[in-house]
Amino acid sequence: MNLDYEKSLLEKSSRELGILDSLGLLRGTRIQRVIASPRKLGYRTIFKLAARRNPDSEPGDLFRLGMFDPGTHQIGPELDSCPLHHARLRQMLKALRPLLNQSGLRPYSESDHTGDLRYVIARTNQTGDQIIVTWVVTQPHRDLLLTLTEKLKEEGFPLVVSAMNVHPEPGNAIWGKETVLLTREAFIEEQIAKSTFYLGPTSFFQVNPWQAENIYLRIEKIAQTLPKKKVAWDLFSGVGTIACFLGHSFEKVLSVEENSEAASLAAKNVERNQQGKKIQILNTLVEKSADHFPLEFQKPDLIVANPSRRGIHADARALIMSALKAQPGSECIYLSCDVNSFSRDLKYFNSVGLSLFELQGFDMHAQTSQMEWLGRLKMR
């Protein structure tokens, strides 16, 4: 964070391009200019922090909210003033620890699987006028969390959605299987370009919505230039943002998402943005989705894949490859946030005749070492 922004952006983008080039993945690839983040600080509209015992605790000071030190599960520094976080989230974090210490909840201990509160996840929108908080607990604590929710509201925070995620099992996974709403409202609203989207307690959405808008508009512009615009796939669709942007150009769009909450919100977002007649939602794993595709979606002209850091499952890669072979002139847009899984998947695609012909970097995670890459691929 204390480095010159433009210099650090050039260094990290060059480093990751070097990784791809060293693997022979950039032969014949047109490299577009890297898009800097519209906001250098205060852009991160979500935090996902571990709640652990404060190692420096004094009587009555039980909690520390932070991330683990690298390579460990030991809690690092208190993160109540990280300049990457949206100002509204920084304000809330400063108020939260005293309230937690008074709440009757106990911080979770991984060593002996004791305590109540494992994680606190919060998201706001760009304007900071709506907040979701999800409390990940080892067992239900509805009354204590309701009280905590009300106290945050009394402090002046626009807490629209509060949810309890119950995760009783030991292990490293953040989320449990059951989520219970503690408020009447189930989602907040975020605006990207001219579209409005509903966001829920456990569904994924990009951490930097200002930069996400640049990416979605770029995908929309690519879609507009394609010669065929009948069918598009939006794989790993989340709450359906990219699907809605594709709907501006394509006759039909298939949105595939495994998270049931996200798929439900995608259906709402499709209707909210008047795309209901064009877009169909499939709530399933991409790698297991082929048998569920309606006949009219079998031959896509464009496939957009936006997987997690794990990249694209081998069966999903085979599905994409098969679809592109079946539709001459089609292409795939691969949006990746991890250069290692991106490289692995590109090596597979390259080995079966699919070439990366255009690549553009987007600084989604400003002031960090991480880049977002938008690659365009088509059959050789």
Whether domain 46-194 has CATH 3.40.640.10: the reply is no
pLDDT of residue 60: 82
**pLDDT digit string (tens) for 66-115?**
999 988 888 999 988 899 999 999 999 999 999 999 999 999 999 899 99
Residue with tokens 């309890």: 164
Work out the end-to-end distance of the chain between its first and last CA atoms, rounded to an integer number of angstroms.
Answer: 42
Block residue for tokens 């795939």: 332
| pLDDT value at 380 more than 90 | no
Chain mean pLDDT for the chain: 95
* pLDDT beyond 80 at 178: yes
Distance CA 62, CA 55 (A): 9
Residue ranges matching CATH 2.40.50.1070 in the chain: 46-194
Q: What is the pLDDT of residues 298-310, one digit of tens each?
A: 999 999 999 999 9
Closest among 90, 93, 83 to 40, alpha carbons compared: 83
Distance CA 354, CA 351 (A): 7
What pLDDT, on a 0 to 100 scale, did the predictor assign at position 71?
Answer: 87
Please tell me the predicted confidence (pLDDT) of residue 73.
86
pLDDT band at 222 (very low <50, low <70, confident <90, very high): very high
Place of tokens 């699987």: 113
3-state secondary structure the chain: CCCCHHHHHHHHHHHHHHHHHHCCCCCCCEECCCECCCCCCCCECEEEEEEEECCCCCCCCCEEEECECCCCCCECCCCCCCCCECHHHHHHHHHHHHHHHCCCCCEEECCCCECCEEEEEEEECCCCCCEEEEEEECCCCHHHHHHHHHHHHHCCCCEEEEEEEECCCCCCCCCCCEEEECCCCCCEEEEECCEEEEECCCCCCCCCHHHHHHHHHHHHHHHHHCCCCCEEEEECCCCCHHHHHHCCCCCEEEEEECCHHHHHHHHHHHHHCCCCCCEEEEECCHHHCHHHCCHHHCCCCEEEECCCCCCCCHHHHHHHHHHHHHCCCCEEEEEECCHHHHHHHHHHHHHCCEEEEEEEEECCCCCCCCCEEEEEEEEC
Which amino acid does the sequence have at 146? L
344 vs 171, residue with greater confidence: 344
Say if residue 361's pLDDT is above 90: yes
pTM (predicted TM-score): 0.94
Least confident of 13-22, 55-64, 337-346: 55-64
Strand partners for 240: none
- State in words which class domain 5-39+208-379 has: alpha beta
Q: For CATH 3.40.50.150, list the domain ranges present in the chain.
A: 5-39+208-379
Predicted confidence at residue 170, as pLDDT, reads 92
How many other CB atoms sit within 10 Å of the CB of residue 90? 18
What is the pLDDT, as a whole number, of residue 3?
85
pLDDT score recorded for residue 58? 79
What is the band of 32 on the pLDDT scale with cuts at 50, 70, 90? very high
> Residue 203's pLDDT band (boundaries 50, 70, 90)?
confident
CA distances to 121, 133, 229, 239, 282 from 248, rounded to whole Å, are 33, 32, 10, 17, 20
